[in-house]
Structure 1
């Protein structure tokens, strides 16, 4: 269930085998790009999730800080002063080429910051659109990414309503003190639906979400899978008896 796993920044560095010094990273090492994002209060950029579609709307990055300018007052650049593409420009070009049917959508690994030093692996997304919009008197890049389907996930594409909102994740993390509620482990943590979503469990309240380590998360899944054939046998027998 990698799409829900909790990791630290150092875990990200080990996994990607590179130090990520910025939020936008176009093809820096692997065959995909990486973005770091956050919808927390006080986040430097206006990233947002569209719960009705599962689309991630990601804001481009500002001009680099330098003496005499306020990056938040300057247009977000697509090129450097020497004419080279910035990360904004690289992502923008990739989106434009996809829309022009010149290439497949750029595959992007997304990590969402949910608390200080704590990140959530959001999995792989596809960059499908990019726009330049006016925001408080300056030009800002907006990038649109949709969840990637198999083979990048082990499980089928998840419906948006199953996704756990960031505020709920933060609340659960604080409540469970950043450890598995069963064994207290702080490693390989996952957000788990106490009552499975498939059985009517909610994603929008912390009451139905808890932290589990990978071992207990898999253990729960195994129990559900082993229960299914047993239940089917009983149900079949009851139907035959009733008939």
Structure 2
């Protein structure tokens, strides 16, 4: 049971990070072990987040504040604030460029949360910030941050995480709606996780809602115990 499959409320997310998360981008500035990004692929998403063919998360930068009656979607996404300090775009941009140029040995470690429903979030997992580009969306220039999924280990080690192990946001949203936000076994709405019906290690896929369901922590543990008991009898 991976943290990346855990479902949490906004208040639980704030408690985990020990800080308010009104902004979708929070750079660590060396004060934390990781930076934070909040993403959404819902139909009402404000930004265009997604994944490329290599499994890297493509996270769109954030707009300038609405000022002077000008639509932020008509303005280039800013690197700096009006008083000359870095925006969160700028901080992430500098970290990515420093890694690419060799000024920074290790890429920035980023924890990503994804929005499932109003007030409902899921831990997407940890990623490394490996690249950034500034591109035109047809109206203005926006930032695209590229992040590689990784598994975090003890002693601050990380390993690459195969992309097909990640449950796509679209699948998570469909499963949440289908299972009505409750454990499919006991009906609990507490401590929910996304569970593979057929485990990934046994050939199960993460890419279709047919193999994913909602389980509470108790039922998930019971399932794990049954699998281990079966293995012991082999």
Q: Do the structures match in fold with TM over 0.5?
A: yes
2:146 to 136, 144, 147: 144
Give the aligned partner of residue 202 of structure 1: 205
TM-score, normalization: structure 1? 0.88
Shift of the alpha carbon at 1:167?
Answer: 1.8
Task: Give the alignment's Cα RMSD to 1 decimal.
Answer: 2.1
Give the aligned partner of residue 61 of structure 2: 60
- Output the CA distance in 1 between the equivalents of 2:172 and 2:129: 25
Q: Which runs of 5+ in 2 are unaligned?
A: none
1:193 to 181, 192, 196: 196
- Output the CA distance in 1 between the equivalents of 2:159 and 2:82: 44
1:31 to 26, 30, 33: 33
Give the aligned partner of residue 117 of structure 2: 115
Determine if the alignment matches structure 1 residue 174 to structure 2 residue 163.
no
Give the aligned partner of residue 85 of structure 1: 86
Determine if the alignment matches structure 1 residue 100 to structure 2 residue 101.
yes
SS in 1 for 2:136: strand
SS in 2 for 1:210: strand
- Output the CA distance in 2 between the equivalents of 1:143 and 1:39: 15
Count of residues in correspondence between the two structures: 230
Shift of the alpha carbon at 1:176?
Answer: 1.1
- Output the CA distance in 2 between the equivalents of 1:157 and 1:3: 14
TM-score, normalization: structure 2? 0.91
Shift of the alpha carbon at 1:200?
Answer: 2.9
- Output the CA distance in 2 between the equivalents of 1:221 and 1:120: 21
Q: Which runs of 5+ in 1 are unaligned?
A: 232-243
Larger radius of gyration: 1
